[in-house]
Amino acid sequence: MSYSDFTLQLIEANFGVKSTPGPLFGDATPASVPGWLRDQLERGLETPLVSEKARSELIVMPVLQACRELSHKTISIYSGTRMDASPEQGLVGECDFLLARAPSIPELRAPLIAVVEAKKNDVEAGLGQCVAEMIGARLLNERTGSASGALYGCVTTGEVWQFITLEGSVAVIDRKRYYLVEIAEILGVFQAILGSDGAES
């Protein structure tokens, strides 16, 4: 079993973490969108986004790079990194993207945000995987003495973004989905996360 095998129902049964919809980041201030990102997204959307690889390279990674730039490079982006937090519980596997408040080094440290690319453009199907990765990140942080408190996740098709918070035994899934045309709002949510108490290490 790995992160991608988890559903929200399995997570509640295995870890006692309940998922509930709720309002998140409603007061987040839209961020200034770098000109290079607008140009990159415009070029990306002119390309047929028929594969996860295309969406990852042309949309998701540029958005995350802009988040890193807006945070004054205080975060690191890990793409396709394994996070084997607890093999006996199935919390293993390769993560699409992890954002960590730590220097850019090969070894993953202090994961804060898990970003899951929705398979077959199905955001709902990616929620279980995302929460599982957040639980894995929390275990890793506890083991290494890194940041505690809330952890964050996001499931995205590239064009649609849905955020999640995990605190204690509750995962709150944002009722609002953001669309790429709302890129300033998407960046604003990431900035709200990175500026929150839960992001401190």
Three-class SS state of 172: strand
Does residue 29 carry a pLDDT above 50? yes
If one counts every other C-beta atom within 10 angstroms of the C-beta of residue 115, the result is 29
What is the distance, to the nearest Å, from the Cα of residue 103 to the centroid of all Cα atoms in its chain? 18
- pLDDT digits over 31-54, tens only? 999 999 999 999 988 887 767 888
Give CA separation, 111 vs 42, 43, 77, 88, 134, in Å. 30, 30, 9, 20, 9
Q: Are 184 and 33 in contact (CB under 8 A)?
A: yes
- pLDDT digits over 95-127, tens only? 999 999 876 676 788 889 999 999 888 999 999
Give the model's pLDDT for residue 197.
39
What is the phi/psi pair of residue 97, to 5°? -145, 140
Domains of the chain plus CATH, in order, are 3-199 (3.90.1570)
Strands 170-174 and 160-167: antiparallel
- pLDDT digits over 133-180, tens only? 999 999 999 988 876 689 999 999 999 999 999 999 999 999 999 999
Q: Are 97 and 115 in contact (CB under 8 A)?
A: yes
- pLDDT digits over 190-199, tens only? 999 988 533 3
The DSSP secondary-structure symbol of 50 reads -
Residue written as tokens 């398979």? Answer: 119
